[in-house]
Structure 1
Amino acid sequence: MQTQRDAIVRFSGEKTKITEEAEQERVAHQKRDQEYIQCITKLEKFAAEKVTRNKASEILVEETTVDCKWLLARAVPLISQCIAGSEELAKYMYELGRPAAEKKEALKSFDLYKADCVARYAEKRQEFETLEFAIVKAAEKLSRKPDGIALLKRALGDEDPECDNPDNYG
């Protein structure tokens, strides 16, 4: 009987030990489950942020594409038109032709007149290119601002809503 009691006490001790080990395993398993859930939650949040950023990037790419197409299709011709119709260009052309009208020299000095015209034309062309370069640089700087393209459209008088449709630019 004593042997049976000793066996019961021993089994009872083993049962307690196994129960404690099982409880420790259950707690460890529960902790791992919580860590997995936290990890999955972080991954879902990260994925949602990536999707949001991706959508924002796609919208930005679309807007930039429309703006670039507008710059090429409308802004460059409008700026060229503004330059071609500018008072500065008219003044340069007048100054270029004025010596010929004032001199009314004979044909014998035509080569000198031609050389003078070439030099004056080169000088005026350089001034015009500087003006053209400054306008293009200003348009480039303006296009980099958040509402730069809209400001450029307003400045050039090209605020037509149809111009915002990228299909209109080919």
Structure 2
Amino acid sequence: MEGEKTKISEEAKQERTAHQKRESEYLQRIAKLQQLVTEKSAEVRASEIISKEANVDSKWLLARGVPLIADRIVRSEELATYMYELGEAAYDNGRKDGYAEGRSAAEAKEALKSFDLYKNDCAARYAEKRQEFEFLEFAIVKVAGQLSRKPDGVALLKKALGDEDREAGGCWS
């Protein structure tokens, strides 16, 4: 009987040890899962913050950034110079085609100082000026492009455009 009692006692001890081991494993798994949940929650919060910031930046770009950049382009020296030169080329081309006296002098190969335009290819100059528009480089567009590659590009663009004090979502006037 004593041997049987010892055998049962050993089996019970082994069962307790196995049970404690399983319980310990379960507690470790639960701790790992809780840690994973905590990490994922932190990632989700970080994603939400980034998403909100991106949303605010997008709203600012649409409401203020694009109009401010367009205003800078409209008021730029590059555009003013181009428009002046385009107008001058168009005027010269129209004037050259419009003066019959100059045309007849050019055809007769006579020298007429007041019709020097006939020595120039005004139509080609006008066409060249019209084509130049595609290649105009505005300083503000270059700056916006460079800033867009930076992590805090929108904040820097706000500063460059003088609009960093405005709050997103407010009244845009």
Q: TM-score, normalised by structure 1?
A: 0.76
2:131 aligns with 123
**Cα 1:45–1:14 shift into 2, 3 Å:** same
Encode CA deviations 1:93-144: one digit per residue, 9 max, x unaligned.
Answer: 11112242698446257xx99845751442231222xx25x85465245234
Choose between structure 1 and 2: higher helix proportion.
Answer: 1
Question: Are 1:37 and 2:27 counterparts?
Answer: yes
Report the number of matched residues: 152
**Cα 1:105–1:144 shift into 2, 3 Å:** closer
What percentage of aligned pairs have identical amino acids? 52
Q: Secondary structure at the match of 1:72?
A: helix
Q: Secondary structure at the match of 2:9?
A: helix
What pairs with 1:130-169 in structure 2 (closer than 5 Å)?
A: 131=137, 136=141, 138-162=143-167, 164-165=168-169
**Cα 1:62–1:37 shift into 2, 3 Å:** same
Q: Contact 1:96 / 1:120 at 8 angstroms: preserved in 2? A: no
AA aligned to 1:107 is: G
1:70 aligns with 60
Cα drift, residue 58 of structure 1 = 0.6
Encode CA deviations 1:38-96: one digit per residue, 9 max, x unaligned.
Answer: 10000001001111110110110010011112112211111111111111111111111
Where relative contact order (Cα < 8 A, 6+ residues apart) is larger, the structure is 1
Aligned partner (choices 6, 9, 13) of residue 3 of structure 2: 13
Where does structure 1 lack aligned partners over 5 or more consecutive residues? 1-10
2:78 aligns with 88
Root-mean-square deviation (CA, aligned residues, Å) is 2.9
Q: TM-score, normalised by structure 2?
A: 0.74
